[in-house]
Amino acid sequence: MKQIGILGAGRSAGYLVEYLGEYCARVGRELYVYDLDFHRLQQSFFVNDKTHLVIANLSDLQVVSDILKNLDVVVSVLPPPMHLPVANLCLKQGCHLFTASYTSEGMLGLDAQAKEKGLLFMNELGLDPGIDHLSANKLFDHAKSLGLEVVTFESHCGGLVDVACCEKNPWKYKFTWNPTNVVLAGQGGSSIWKEEGEVMQLDGHLIFANAREIEVPGIGVFDVYANRNSLTYEKLYGLTKARTLLRGTLRRRYFCAAWDVLVVQGFTDSQTILFEEGVAGNVHPDRILGSESMSNVARNPNIDSAVNAQMWFLKVTGCSSTELWIESLRDSGVDLTNIEGHLRFLQLELGCLNLVVVGKTVAQILEQILLDRWALEANHRDEVVMVHKLGVMDKLGNEKHWYSVLKVMGEGGDRTAMAKMVGLPLGMGVETFLEEKHGDHGVCLPFDKSWYAPILEKLKHHGIIFEEHLM
């Protein structure tokens, strides 16, 4: 047996490295972790003497190919677009592959080749997707063993923050994961689901306006918006006869209504660049703003590094301040009930330190400012909430609702609940594969009991436990 390797040492790698490092020390294997920077990992996580940190440029596929020659099992925590090139190299070098990402069409296309070579390409083994699959399939099998039919199924998950860390922040939200994904949520295509027998479809820019509320037993009321194409899992979950199938993302109450205002106003526009390269350094703000009044606009002499945030705000909203913007929204009929404080809190026209707007899309500028407003401080704890809601019917036609609820708190700093919930299932999946000599080959998802039973049991030992509620 060759060695285990991890490609990437970013935010999601810490708990994964710790877990597989402990496993390797226990069984006499070696773990190799590859990346250009290990500062964050070494600052917050334990790296034992069976774990070797190797400097490597993983954007160079020849470097990756050379790495894979010495590995038997590889876990990729690289950005999702890199998984397919890595998978192709795994076919060439004979490596098993684990990722936490959604299974792309390109990855599915490698199924036959992976099976032919006796390789396992396990995907969707993180949090969402990942732990949601493990726990949902356990529930489905349990219902079947009781002679019950699952007639409705909802599964929702959110990476959140302890509300105690957000006393002055009405959004009750801070970044615990990829901020770009948060800013561009809904822009990956339509959201599709089934509700009471009817297939529903919404364009991505409408999902926040159509968010709903859900009461999670034992925790409280949340916003939830539809996530991607829920019907992808209709056959995989064995729910072709179910009336309802919906997968969604959780946010604190009123988040979605407030975020919808930003979407409608154009702040999440990922295409438009308001200030092109080349205007910097020799163009006065008056020329950028045209005939707009400059009375409230602070002139920035260093236009070559960042055009003043207030200019950007004026370009997007037509207003020079948050106060005037809120007045404009109210005059145009926008309902600001429960969300006015959200917009005031952001104070977008004030920008942030070292703001760069030249050559950036509107959404990229918003992301820079939100990274300042929604920064997770070292002493703050993040929180992950997951809820499954099942409607089950017995043979007499009686219907009841099951809730399965999970709440996990982070430890502070980079030891986030999000990193734990992504990294641990990956590490436990590798351990399960090696220890139980799993016979699965090809492109797989962790739906079978041979996967969910051991991994959920291992998660229990780390305090990751679902609570069941019958309504």
Q: What integer pLDDT is reported at residue 295 of this predicted model? A: 37
pLDDT confidence of residue 308: 76
For the beta carbon of residue 196, count every other beta carbon within 10 angstroms: 8
**Could you name the CATH architecture of 131-260+378-409?**
2-Layer Sandwich (3.30)
Residue 212 and residue 271: Cα distance in Å, rounded? 28
Give the pTM.
0.88
pLDDT at 379: 86
Q: Tens digit of pLDDT for each residue in 185-241?
A: 888 789 999 999 999 999 988 999 999 999 999 999 999 999 889 999 999 999 999
Distance CA 24, CA 3 (A): 9
Pairing of strands 220-226, 244-252: antiparallel
Q: Return the pLDDT at 1.
A: 58
Question: Domain map of the chain by residue range?
Answer: 3-123, 131-260+378-409, 273-360
What is the mean pLDDT of each successive set of 10 residues along the chain, which is 471 residues long?
Answer: 88 94 93 95 93 96 95 95 96 96 95 96 96 96 94 96 90 90 87 95 93 94 94 94 96 97 95 73 41 39 54 92 95 95 94 87 95 90 95 94 95 92 96 84 94 96 91 73
State the pairing for strand pair 149-161/382-393. antiparallel
The topology under which CATH files domain 3-123 is Rossmann fold (3.40.50)
pLDDT reported for residue 152: 97
Query: Can you give the pLDDT at residue 159?
Result: 94
Please state the φ and ψ torsions of residue 144, each to the nearest 5 degrees.
-60, -40
Number of other CB atoms surrounding residue 451 within 10 Å: 25
Contacts of 5 (CB under 8 A, 6+ apart): 31, 32, 33, 34, 67, 68, 70, 71, 73, 74, 75
Q: How far apart (Å, rounded) are the C-alpha atoms in residues 278 and 297?
A: 22
pLDDT of residue 449: 94
DSSP 8-state secondary structure symbol assigned to residue 277:
T
What does the alpha-carbon distance between residue 417 and residue 408 come to, in Å, rounded to a whole number?
Answer: 6
